[in-house]
Amino acid sequence: MFLCFFSLMASMHTNVQEQSKEIGIMRALGLTRFQIVRIYIEEAFILVITAAIMGLIVGMLVGYVLTSQVGMLKGLPVQFVFPWEFTIIAFGCALVISILASAWPAWRVAKADIVKTMKS
């Protein structure tokens, strides 16, 4: 989870720095700091949800295939069981991490001076 946090934070920091001019324009058009931060939180939220769903699907498929292969090799009836409790906890942690990792870089740029942001 820490790797996910720092990876997402670095990605969002780069994204926010590259779009600092656009952020300055949005601020000049009247968007509040909170609205700008919310845009980037929603972007990270969508990325994390998409990655989590894809990871869940791949994890379930790999788990099912490995379970069935082990059952065939050993000749034992092995049942595929997926731990939904851990999945829900992992999804919750991923959502909290996405909010924290995206809010900080966006807030730093959003609180900067509008003129300086547009010049950079």
Among residues 86, 9, 83, 18, the alpha carbon closest in space to that of 47 is found at 9
pLDDT, tens digit only, all 120 positions of the chain: 677 778 888 888 888 888 888 888 888 899 898 998 898 888 888 988 998 899 999 999 999 998 888 877 877 788 888 888 998 998 898 888 888 888 888 888 878 777 777 776
Give the per-residue pLDDT at 102. Answer: 84
Among residues 43, 55, 54, the alpha carbon closest in space to that of 106 is found at 43
Backbone angles phi, psi at 69, to 5 degrees: -65, -45
Say if CB 101 and CB 5 are below 8 A apart. yes
Tell me which DSSP letter residue 76 carries: S
Among residues 93, 88, 102, the alpha carbon closest in space to that of 42 is found at 102
